Copies of this chain bind each other. A is one copy, B any other.
């Protein structure tokens, strides 16, 4: 099956292996007329680039994006936008050893079972580098959303068990995300709470010293979304977001609004009451629902969280088996991130941006009266 194509009408097709010639994405279905250049895309990619702090792999990767099609006179033309990041540091020999055994927590074994063999260089297609295509496509989606007054902002909520104080995320109801974004960008871990960030950094240093790794939680907020986005039953906005986020390598859980907390709540405590705002529009007093009711946006902020597992590649001694079935001990040395969370923040943001835009476009034909107005524009 074709697993590298995503989206119903705003589509992306990603390609590339960690140690092949490059990583890329074709974005098909972007509306014509968006101002776009490589610099704009690059600013998103830089947020997932390694080697920027001591908490990420010291590999040097420029990850410079090149746009190959779909732009004319600085604007999107409505046709496919092909983007590529050529791989520069293909040190394949680093990885030749792992060809012979199955790394715990990795996809080595399942790829071999599925395809009969695998490209073992740096994880091949299951490498984290695969997310470059997602971020480049997400950058375009975010730029379109901005033009429609919609902001998306993800950040590290919890790392090594240290969670940011909720004062930093506001009430997540209807406010914009500028302050949040600014605070987030100040932290090397993309944690908008400086105290929590510092604590997490300390614990992370210790974890690195133990040759081990850490997990965490990424939160993402979508602000400014109109009510009515998402389709009943299967194509719910939250259902599509769940797929989009769970498709990211290390994510093992996704929740919306109160998420798993609802399991321990009561109807009276969990329901969000409606009221009329100062400017006479219908609003909610609280946001247990995380901005989505019945799978459809209710105009309050959408709040999503993703659980990210600890980096499976660790230098600590582990037991596993070789391809020929012998028990072996391994120490996976190399340039691995001690925590995936910070570099995955922009990936979560990208996947949510793509999904929201895709469903937003499809909501344009929900009502005959609006269609009639559109075609008389």
Contact = CB atoms under 8 A, between A and B. Distances in A.
B266 A114 contact: no
Interface in A193-235: 207, 212-217, 226-228, 230-235
Nearest to A235: B3
Given A15-B69, A28-B13, A370-B374, A271 B4 contact: no
A377 B375 CA distance: 12
Contacts of A24: 26, 68-69, 82
A338 to B, nearest CB: 9
Find the residue from A126, A254, A267 having the highest chain B CB count within 10 A.
A267
4 smallest A-B Cβ distances: which pairs? Answer: A107-B294, A3-B231, A253-B255, A243-B243
B312 A126 contact: no
Given A105-B293, A124-B79, A235 B69 contact: no
B257 A254 contact: no
A178 interface: no
A294 B5 contact: no
A355 to B, nearest CB: 10
Nearest to A364: B364
Nearest to A218: B263
Interface stretch (A50-58, A180-188, A273-281): A273-281
A72 B124 contact: yes
Contact of A104 (B144, B158, B272): B272
18 contacts: A4-B26, A15-B28, A20-B68, A22-B69, A33-B368, A34-B368, A102-B274, A125-B232, A226-B375, A242-B243, A246-B254, A252-B257, A252-B259, A260-B260, A268-B316, A273-B319, A273-B320, A370-B377
A17 B79 contact: yes
Contacts of A80: 4, 13-16, 125
A233 B123 CA distance: 13
Contacts of A89: none
Contacts of A111: 232, 294, 296
Nearest to A264: B161
Contacts of A22: 68-69
B4 A28 contact: yes
A226 to B, nearest CB: 6
A66 B22 CA distance: 12
Contacts of A216: 263
Contacts of A16: 68-69, 80, 82
B270 A247 contact: no
Given A213-B268, A215-B265, A273-B319, 14 more contacts: A11-B13, A15-B26, A15-B68, A15-B81, A23-B69, A31-B368, A32-B116, A79-B125, A105-B271, A111-B232, A115-B366, A252-B255, A267-B311, A361-B364
A359 B2 CA distance: 11
Contact of A78 (B121, B130, B366): B366
Contacts of A73: 117
A291 to B, nearest CB: 10
